[in-house]
Amino acid sequence: MSLTSLTAHELGELLNKREISSVELTKAYLRRIEEVDDQVRAFLTVTGDLALKQAAETDEKRARGEKLPPLAGIPMAMKDNMCTKGIKTTCASRILYNFIPPYDAAVTERLLAAGAVLLGKCNLDEFAMGSSTENSGFFATRNPHDLRAVPGGSSGGSAAAVAAGEAVFALGSDTGGSIRLPAAFCGVIGLKPTYGRVSRYGLVAYASSLDQIGPLTRDMRDCALVMNVIAGHDKRDSTSAPLEVPDYTRFLVDDVRGLKIGLPREYLGEGLDDEVRGWVKRAAETLEKLGAVCEEVSLPHTRYALPTYYIIAPAEASSNLARYDGVQYGLRVEAGDIVSMYSKTRSQGFGEEVKRRIMLGTYALSSGYYDAYYLKAMKVRTLVKRDFDLAFEKYDCLLTPTSPTPAFEAGEKTADPLTMYLSDVCTIPVNLAGIPALSIPFGLVGGRPVGVQLIGKAFDEGTLMRAGYALEQGTDLTRPRPVLERTVEE
């Protein structure tokens, strides 16, 4: 088996036994990027020289006998909306095509301090707005399991990089499902932590009350190891929760006896692909065989979540993106006066989907419409959260599909934004409620991976990891191997 198909904890053992060096490992990943990224197009920026320098420093520390953290020397990638000091951070937008941050995001600081090796920055839908990574301002990313299909979005580059063996793990950001949807489409693990569990300092904001950073990994143990590094209070983020962070590897026990799991009927009804429904039921049966109790439950306000999200998120985006005017950051299109310069810069710098959401958000916040749209949406958000609160009085977690369908064809939904928005219908309620959710691969439809979603109580990522780990150990369905990998290696 090649180095580029192993997990972080497997590679960590090889590094600790001195059977490989971090430089050898990093070179293997850089070669893999050279071999396949012209097909997948997961990376916007590859930081090869920096990665080899970081790897060499880790090897020197190991040679001196220093005790190193579990992720030391492990090559990783980051979504290109997280700041990296001295490295371009574009948000896949032409308006930030040349922006080089003078500081690191909190998650960047923590991973580099833990010795992880940064291979580069991954493609995304522009400013994290999209469900297919076709809205990038530079190029589209493809699914390593089927290059005709999309990888999901908006963290499609990060998920595709992990699935294609171009990074051991990656970070994504999740505003309405942007970690979980590409995780499901690309056959990897994706965790959206509780809002406030991971610092958003240095994450370029899309919708501030919904955004959250999380890991994309090959298995549950890697997910726990990455969370151990990035989770925790950060005083620079006023929404960061000042709570103790457990060692997440403690939850990786092959035992779900007595765990009560709810199956929300609203997620398993009309619009769901029959084969996807079948895999969710099989996942429930697997958990029951392992000792869990699964029962049907109702979350009656789920049907209002999608329209609620598409009022709140664009409203916050229209405010956050007002700062990109050609004065302080990135692109500036010169014109005869300052108002014309603002107008031309934003017109040429933003893509169509970003402009659409700015227009929607500005309208929802405008005088005379605020009460009718934004205020009402915030009230519905409370009802969606209350559904989850009531369900968690009886159940430890909920099991749903991650997406109503497997990955769709590239270009299939680009002309119909409303159909594209429906891709996130199973993931959006979680962001409105601010609670954690995990997508884990479970089965294939037409050769394309299917993900099932576990939803948990606030700050109870541990229970999700316990259930996800049991599911992973209880079947052979959670590690689908990309077609791309077989094509290149065999």
Neighbours of 53 (CB within 10 A): 14
> Considering 22, 131, 154, 439, which one is annotated as catalytic?
154
**What pLDDT does residue 485 have?**
57
Burial 296-315 (b: 16+ CB within 10 A, else e): ebebebbebbbebbbbbbbb
pTM of structure: 0.96
* CA nearest neighbour of 28 among 13, 44, 48: 48
- Once rounded to an integer, what is the mean pLDDT over residues 107-112? 98
**What pLDDT does residue 415 have?**
87
> Considering 22, 79, 131, 457, which one is annotated as catalytic?
79
> Tens of pLDDT along 170-221?
999 999 999 999 999 999 999 999 999 999 999 999 999 999 999 999 999 9
The rounded distance, in Å, linking the Cα atoms of 458 and 8 is 27
> Tens of pLDDT along 432-444?
999 999 999 999 9
pLDDT of 306 over the 80 cut: yes
22 catalytic per annotation: no
> Tens of pLDDT along 235-287?
999 999 999 999 999 999 988 999 999 999 999 988 899 999 999 999 999 99
Query: Among residues of the chain, what percentage have pLDDT more than 70?
Result: 98
The rounded distance, in Å, linking the Cα atoms of 136 and 411 is 13
* CA nearest neighbour of 76 among 36, 127, 41, 25: 25
The rounded distance, in Å, linking the Cα atoms of 3 and 13 is 12
**What pLDDT does residue 487 have?**
45
Token pair of 469, please? Answer: 């780990």
The rounded distance, in Å, linking the Cα atoms of 199 and 410 is 33
pLDDT of 334 over the 50 cut: yes
> Tens of pLDDT along 396-440?
999 999 999 999 999 999 888 888 888 899 999 999 999 999 999
pLDDT of 86 over the 60 cut: yes
154 catalytic per annotation: yes
pLDDT of 477 over the 90 cut: no
126 and 354 Cβ atoms separated by less than 8 Å: yes
Strands 293-297 and 260-264: parallel
Helix (H) or strand (E) holding 474: helix 461-474
Lowest mean pLDDT of 149-158, 274-283, 473-482, name the range.
Answer: 473-482
158 and 128 Cβ atoms separated by less than 8 Å: no
pLDDT of 100 over the 80 cut: yes
Confidence of residue 67 (pLDDT cuts 50, 70, 90): very high
Whether the bond into 199 is cis, omega within 30 of 0: no
> Considering 21, 178, 240, 318, which one is annotated as catalytic?
178
The CA-atom distances, in angstroms, between 1 and each of 105, 165, 270, 490 are 34, 12, 42, 11
The CA-atom distances, in angstroms, between 24 and each of 6, 56, 168 are 14, 10, 14
**What pLDDT does residue 489 have?**
41
pLDDT of 476 over the 80 cut: no
Token pair of 403, please? Answer: 């997406």
* CA nearest neighbour of 307 among 353, 355, 372, 368: 372
The crossing angle, in degrees rounded to 10, of helices 220-230 and 8-16 is 80
The rounded distance, in Å, linking the Cα atoms of 371 and 57 is 56
Q: What is the overall mean pLDDT for the chain?
A: 95
344 catalytic per annotation: no
Confidence of residue 1 (pLDDT cuts 50, 70, 90): low
Q: What letter does residue 407 receive in the DSSP assignment? A: P
